[in-house]
Amino acid sequence: MDHKMSRSPWVIHYDGSSCNGCDIEVLASLTPLFDAERFGVVNTGNPKHADIFLVTGSVNAQNLPVVRQIYNQMLEPKCVVACGICACSGGVFRDAYNVIGGVDRAIPVDVYAPGCAIRPETVIDAIVEACGILDQKETVLRAGGDPLTVGGAATWDGGVELGEDGFVAAGAGTDGAGDAPAGKPAAPAAGDAPVETPAAAKEAE
Ligand code: SF4
């Protein structure tokens, strides 16, 4: 019998730094109205049971390690879907001081599913596309190959690494998002002289 994991993909959902619009649409796609379950999709809270990782919202210094940890706990073969434009690129929050960028700044993304908010139909379409990639990865894995040579991981640039201070160094592997926007100071580094504020200057007078 020909077993295919994609016939019954289990998904796990994580909401990053979002407005919750995409978050609720992903949940809607799993409920009876849109009924992703008719394709065999099962929602799980355990990364070790999940085949497809649905991520909504952008990545920041707080949630980047969480996204990476969930991904690393998932077993191969696995797929990642960036749900909504914030997850794809940072969206309207891209230039915010605390936003590093889309999900691919943390982990390799296999399917980019835009929308603001993403529609449940798009979520289901993205899951179906991810199933196709899951099949390819499974075939490679069963043949003794490396599933990371298929899908988003094959061309991933490695994303960003956070320094010990929890900040992203300006320009360190980012696509520009996450750097201090022009006119705003970069995060202070250890050993920097204290920043002089108007209040401190007044006190010194
Ligand atoms: S893409 Fe739009 S709806 Fe989705 S999290 Fe971002 S701002 Fe909210």
Mind listing the pLDDT tens digit for each residue in 84-139? 999 999 999 999 999 999 999 999 999 999 999 999 999 999 999 999 999 999 99
Give residue 69 CA to ligand 1 midpoint distance, Å: 23
Atom from ligand 1 closest to the CA of residue 85: 1
Region 67-73: what's the mean pLDDT? 97
What would the two tokens of residue 15 be?
């909401």
Give residue 189 CA to ligand 1 midpoint distance, Å: 32
Q: Residue with structure tokens 């139909």?
A: 121
Cβ atoms of residues 27 and 118 within 8 Å = no
Atom from ligand 1 closest to the CA of residue 22: 4
Domain CATH for 64:
3.40.50.12280
- Taking CA atoms only, the protein residue closest to ligand 1 atom 5 is 18
Regarding the beta carbon of 87 and ligand 1, being less than 6 Å apart is answered: no
Regarding the beta carbon of 122 and ligand 1, being less than 6 Å apart is answered: no
Regarding the beta carbon of 170 and ligand 1, being less than 6 Å apart is answered: no
Domain containing 91 equals: 5-204
β-strand 42-43 against 10-15: which pairing, if any? parallel
141-188 confidence digits (pLDDT tens): 999 999 999 999 999 999 998 887 777 765 544 454 444 443 333 444
What would the two tokens of residue 72 be?
């690393």
pLDDT for the residue numbered 163: 83
Cα separation, 169 vs 179, in Å, equals 8
- Entry pTM: 0.82
What would the two tokens of residue 182 be?
């022009």
Q: How many domains would you assign to the chain?
A: 1
